[in-house]
Amino acid sequence: MEFSATQIAQMIGGTLEGPGEISVGAFGKIEEARSGQLAFLANPKYEEYLYQTQASIVIINNNLQLKEPIAATIIRVTDPYSSFALLLDKYQQIQKQQLSGVEDPVFIHPTAKLGEHIYLGAFVYLGENVIVADNVKIFPNSYIGKNVTIGENTIIHAGVKIYHGTIIGENVSIHAGTVIGSDGFGYAPQTDGSLKKVPQIGNVLIEDGVEIGANTTIDRATIGSTIIRTGAKLDNLIQIAHNVEIGANSVIAAQTGISGSTKIGKNVMIGGQVGIVGHIQIADGSKINAQSGVSKSIKEPNSAVTGSPAYDYTSALRSQAVSRNLPEIEKRLKELEVFIKNLTTQNKL
């Protein structure tokens, strides 16, 4: 599968410099690319490789002034990184569209409803009343429980387990090993000291355009729904507890844990290894630094917090600066104490 420079320029709205008929069939990093590959330059630190690269086509910024002649065909765009990402996405979509049909063996319940142009890998299980829309791809060893709905163009990678009642929108991507809809962690203490399990009878709702990384777990709601809103992006190894709501276009990095019934606003950015307690709210546009522990609601939109317990990011940096100077401050304080003591002694005389 190859594309000419002219075709690529049309796809990304770029300006062509050099032969338009030259074709590429693969991608490469600018410092490693070979003939027949496409590369891009977005970071000025890598500009030296532009004049050495063996890539056949290179995407660069409109404003970049070339210091030396280069052998590759150039495509100029406003944002090379975004344009390259767009091409990767198109390339990936074409590859996935080539997957179709049902491998053997699979189990499909007689009541399941299947759309057109779907792909079911070997050992896929589709339970009672499952609905699989058009162009869905479900890779091998995935389990889809009863009454699950999967929207168009969604991709379920290998080994994903989706419990009963889960609703998944369109253009969703769920990576290998993820578990969606397992029981929330709810237990009622008894008078004898034992713990009685609280039945989890809700479900999980995942809206359109969501991406969920590998080995992430999203618990079903006790009552109602655990909700992942449109366009949210979850990294690998994340724990989302029962009745949590993740707002639209929010981004959460790996090893984050969000406790039950917490509501995350839209366009929130959460770094890796963040812990968030239950029953709080995180305002729209909040930024939570890696390894922070959030123990109370963030009410002010577009706030930035860090630390454990997490507090205002700017104040935290000032506190860190003061902490680094504590030995010097202690030394000066002792000198001041000696000075005052000597001054007091002189006054008494």
- Does residue 95 register a pLDDT over 90? no
Domain ranges of the chain: 3-97, 101-314, 323-348
Q: What is the pLDDT of residues 58-72, one digit of tens each?
A: 999 999 999 999 999
Torsion angle of the four alpha carbons 215, 153, 202, 245, in this order, in degrees rounded to the nearest 10: 70
- Does residue 108 register a pLDDT over 90? yes
- Does residue 348 register a pLDDT over 80? no
Return the structure tokens found at 282: 């995180």
What's the DSSP call for residue 67?
A: S
Please enumerate in sequence order all residues whose Cβ is within 8 A of that of 163, keeping only pairs 6 or more positions apart, or say none. Answer: 145, 148, 179, 180, 181, 182, 204, 220
Q: What is the pLDDT of residues 313-340, one digit of tens each?
A: 787 777 777 778 888 888 888 888 888 8
- Look at domain 101-314 and name its CATH class: mainly beta
Please enumerate in sequence order all residues whose Cβ is within 8 A of that of 101, keeping only pairs 6 or more positions apart, or say none. Answer: 119, 120
pLDDT (mean) for 121-134: 98
pLDDT (mean) for 10-19: 95
What's the DSSP call for residue 30?
A: T
Lowest mean pLDDT among 12-16, 282-286, 292-296, 341-345: 341-345
Tell me the catalytic residues.
242
Cα–Cα distance, 267 to 285 (Å, whole number) = 5
Reduced to 3 states (helix: H, G, I; strand: E, B; else coil), residue 149 is: strand
Q: What is the pLDDT of residues 198-208, one digit of tens each?
A: 999 999 999 99
Q: What is the pLDDT of residue 67?
A: 93
pLDDT (mean) for 171-182: 98
Measured in degrees and rounded to the nearest 5, phi and psi for residue 240 equal: -110, 120
What is the band of 273 on the pLDDT scale with cuts at 50, 70, 90?
very high
Return the structure tokens found at 292: 């922070």
61 closest CA partner among 38, 28, 84, 94: 84
What's the DSSP call for residue 69?
A: -
Average pLDDT over the chain, rounded to whole? 94
Q: What is the pLDDT of residue 330?
A: 86
Return the structure tokens found at 125: 């299980």
Question: Which residue, chain included where needed, has tokens 């490469």?
Answer: 28
pLDDT (mean) for 224-248: 98
- Does residue 349 register a pLDDT over 70? no
Q: Judge contact between 270 and 288, C-beta under 8 A.
A: yes
> Per-residue DSSP letters for 293-328?
EE-S-B-STT-EEETTTTEEHHHHHHHHHHHHTHHH
Question: Which residue, chain included where needed, has tokens 């004898």?
Answer: 192
Superfamily name with CATH number, domain 3-97:
MurE/MurF, N-terminal domain (3.40.1390.10)
Q: Judge contact between 68 and 86, C-beta under 8 A.
A: no
What is the band of 132 on the pLDDT scale with cuts at 50, 70, 90?
very high
- Does residue 96 register a pLDDT over 90? no
